[in-house]
Amino acid sequence: MSSASVADSFIQPTMAEKNTRYRIGYALAPKKVQTFIKPSLLNLAKERGIDLFPIQLTEPLIDQAPFDCIIHKLPDPEWTNQLKILLSHYPIVVVIDNPEAIELVNSRVTMLEAVSHLKPPPGLSVEVPLQVFVESPESLLAASEGINLPVIAKPLIADGSSGSHQMYLVVDDKGLGELKLDPPFVLQEFVNHGGVIFKVYVAGRHIQCVKRRSLPYISPEKLGTSEKLIPFSQISDAAAIDYPIDDESSYAAELPPLEFVNVVANQLRQGLKLNLFNFDMIRDSRAGGRYLIIDINYFPGYAKMPSYETILTDFFLYVVKKLPTDC
């Protein structure tokens, strides 16, 4: 699979560091533990002086100290309170990431706000699709008048839960009337992008861009020939959708320029004040230099990223050695 990466070189330990061990606790949902905390990651981290261990959520966090670092993805007020208590006693513990910053990307109303402040290299642009908020069933009609069909209907909450991935491609007014998504949700403009989505993974200063199949190209003449409302769980899993596809749809589309990916990812990292996230980006089929960021995900499925063990271990070492992350 083609990929582009921007990563600091492999960190070689000094003789003194070989005898130093760092303790990183992780507080993750069981499914995330299963997909992320793999033996290959545990073993590489251990070889390089990092011990990853599970935080017991049934016990007070402060009783499980000391920590050099904590990584977490638990959208729960009690967990946030536990972190505050820990930091009041051990302020030098590095928490990746700040719960308040995570909360902003857990909502599809606020997650894309930072994109408007990005300054990409000359000749290219990065934007967000037009998006409207639907607060209640009664407001659907009025909200939809502010956006052209087809659209993608997405749940408001984007916290990684199964419900947050239930989306719909709404082709026309009939499909909009059949939509069974419970408010609140958003309607996001569908932009033809050649059936390719670029997923950019960020772990501190480590960046990797890969391409995946996406929603197919929808030509105007084909809008009336298929389903009006098409459910799917993830954009990058949408290749199986039974919808007319333009034969010119190019899965072999070139990756975005490396400099562009690097600049956008680093600016977004600083704007979001997050270290562990990915963003989904598409290229407008009508204008090759126009890119759109359509989603941002906190602590995504890193195991899908080539060489994720090395990249994440490098990131952990930067964190525990108190090197700057700019966040």
Q: Is 195 annotated as a binding residue?
A: yes
Per-residue burial over 288-298, b if 16 or more Cβ lie within 10 Å, else e, is eebbbbbbbbb
Q: Is 49 annotated as a binding residue?
A: no
Q: Is 271 annotated as a binding residue?
A: no
Q: Is 133 annotated as a binding residue?
A: no
Q: Is 159 annotated as a binding residue?
A: no
Q: Is 304 annotated as a binding residue?
A: no
Question: Residue 323 and residue 94: Cα distance in Å, rounded?
Answer: 11
Q: Is 192 annotated as a binding residue?
A: yes
Backbone region of residue 176 per phi and psi (left: phi > 0; alpha: psi in -120 to 50; beta: other values): alpha
Q: Is 211 annotated as a binding residue?
A: no
Q: Is 197 annotated as a binding residue?
A: yes
> Does residue 263 contact residue 208 with C-beta atoms inside 8 Å?
no
Q: Is 46 annotated as a binding residue?
A: no
Tokens of 153: 């209907």
Q: Is 193 annotated as a binding residue?
A: yes
Q: Is 73 annotated as a binding residue?
A: yes
Helices 39-47, 308-320: axis angle to 10 degrees equals: 40
Q: Is 295 annotated as a binding residue?
A: yes
Q: Is 191 annotated as a binding residue?
A: yes
Tokens of 34: 């299963």
Q: Is 273 annotated as a binding residue?
A: no
Q: Is 89 annotated as a binding residue?
A: no
Q: Is 175 annotated as a binding residue?
A: no
Q: Is 108 annotated as a binding residue?
A: yes
Return the DSSP state at 107.
B
Q: Is 280 annotated as a binding residue?
A: yes
Q: Is 285 annotated as a binding residue?
A: no
Ramachandran angles phi, psi of 224, nearest 5°: -95, 10
Point out the annotated binding site: 32, 73, 108, 154, 165, 188-199, 214, 280, 295, 297, 301
Point out the annotated binding site for Mg(2+): 280, 295, 297
Point out the annotated binding site for ATP: 108, 154, 188-199, 214
Point out the annotated binding site for 1D-myo-inositol 1,3,4-trisphosphate: 32, 73, 165, 199, 297, 301
